[in-house]
Chain A
Amino acid sequence: EVQLVQSGAEVKKPGESLKISCKGSGYNFNNYWIAWVRLMPGKGLEWMGIIYPGHSDIKYSPSFQGQVTISADKSISTAYLQWSRLKASDSAMYYCARSDRYPLFGIFNYWGQGTPVTVSS
Chain B
Amino acid sequence: DIQMTQSPSTLSASVGDRVTITCRASQTISSWLAWYQQKSGKAPKLLIYEASTLQSGVPSRFSGSGSGTEFTLTISSLQPDDFATYYCQQHNGYSPFTFGPGTKVEIK
Chain B residues contacting A35 (CB-CB under 8 Å) are 97
Interface SS of chain B: loop
CB of B101 within 8 A of CB of A47, answer no
List the B residue with the shortest CB-CB distance to A35: B97
- Our count of residue pairs bridging A and B at CB distance below 8 angstroms stands at 69
Is residue A10 contacting chain B, with contact meaning CB distance below 8 A?
A: no
CB of B49 within 8 A of CB of A107, answer yes
Chain B interface, number of residues (Cβ within 8 angstroms)? 27
Q: A-facing mask of B90-108, CB < 8 A → 1, else 0?
A: 1111101111111000000
A residues 18-66 in Cβ contact with B at 8 Å: 35, 37, 44-47, 49-50, 59-62
Task: Tell me the B residues contacting A by CB distance below 8 Å.
Answer: 1, 32, 34, 36, 38, 43-46, 49-50, 55, 85, 87, 89-94, 96-102
Interface residues on A, range: 20 to 34
CB of A44 within 8 A of CB of B101, answer yes
